């Protein structure tokens, strides 16, 4: 059984135990969507009746490949082509370790499985679109400093980095009005305090 199949099988069992809870949307079922290889890892979206998460399954070279349940809840920033995202480590005996990034919770906005699947597919497209990247706080500060220096020298400022997201764009997206750029810049993409895009930790040699 591969990692993605094991992940779905695990959450199928979890779903049976959660069926009576208020957050459970009976219109939905557990489904893995769009999983693909990313830097030697499996990356995709997990749909459940109570949440939708971006899931990252480790490569053997990752430090967190050997993490166990004692590390559950540990957070780390992971770089994707569209920006940096905060993932939380989870663990299950049938799956091993995995990292998740919350997309939707609860799932009350979704009235049908096909709508949830379409949303997950759009998320996967957007993740690999560099046009969706939002600048970090440090990048914005550096850009403002450069523009001030150019202004002092009577030089027209040139925008060399992505435009900052407006406050109105930060509202949580809904499945009905989801756009690839709007979704990621509406708060899903986590901004870091550094220009550097940290890679998922590898084993030390």
Tell me how far apart the terminal alpha carbons of the chain are, to the nearest angstrom. 30
* Higher pLDDT, residue 14 or 131: 14
* Peptide bond connecting 106 to the previous residue in cis, omega within 30 degrees of 0: yes
Q: What is the pLDDT of residue 177?
A: 45
Q: CA-based angle 5:126:50, to the nearest 5?
A: 50
If you average pLDDT over residues 192-198, what whole number do you get? 33
Residue pLDDT, tens place only, 133-171: 655 554 455 556 666 666 666 544 333 333 333 343 334
The pTM of the whole model exceeds 0.75: no
Does the pLDDT value for residue 132 go beyond 80? no
Does the pLDDT value for residue 23 go beyond 50? yes
Does the pLDDT value for residue 102 go beyond 70? yes
If you average pLDDT over residues 179-190, what whole number do you get? 42
- Our measurement of the distance from residue 2's CA atom to the centroid of its chain's CA atoms, rounded to an integer in Å, reads 22
Q: What is the pLDDT of residue 187?
A: 37
Q: What is the pLDDT of residue 162?
A: 37
Distance CA 3, CA 88 (A): 18
* Max Cα-Cα span within the chain: 66
Does the pLDDT value for residue 22 go beyond 50? yes
Q: CA-based angle 136:141:145, to the nearest 5?
A: 145
Does the pLDDT value for residue 89 go beyond 90? yes
Task: Specify the CATH architecture of the domain 3-112.
Answer: 2-Layer Sandwich (3.30)
Q: What is the pLDDT of residue 155?
A: 42
Does the pLDDT value for residue 57 go beyond 60? yes
């Amino acid at each position: 059984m591969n990692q993605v199949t094991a992940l779905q099988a695990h959450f199928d069992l979890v779903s049976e135990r959660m069926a009576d809870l208020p957050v459970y949307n009976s219109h939905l079922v557990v489904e893995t969507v769009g999983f693909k290889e990313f830097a030697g890892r499996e990356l995709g979206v997990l749909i459940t009746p109570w949440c939708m998460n971006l899931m990252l399954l480790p490569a053997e070279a990752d430090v967190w490949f050997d993490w166990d349940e004692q590390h559950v809840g540990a957070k780390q920033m992971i770089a994707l082509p569209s920006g940096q995202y905060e993932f939380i480590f989870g663990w299950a005996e049938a799956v091993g370790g995995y990292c998740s990034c919350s997309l939707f919770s609860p799932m009350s906005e979704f009235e049908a499985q096909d709508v949830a699947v379409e949303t997950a597919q759009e998320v996967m497209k957007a993740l690999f679109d560099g046009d969706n990247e939002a600048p970090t706080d440090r990048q914005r500060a550096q850009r403002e400093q450069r523009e001030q220096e150019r202004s002092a020298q009577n030089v027209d400022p040139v925008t060399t980095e992505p435009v900052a997201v407006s406050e109105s764009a930060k509202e949580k997206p809904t499945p009905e009005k989801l756009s690839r750029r709007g979704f990621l810049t509406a708060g899903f993409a986590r901004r870091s305090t550094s220009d550097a895009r940290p890679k998922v930790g590898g084993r030390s040699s």
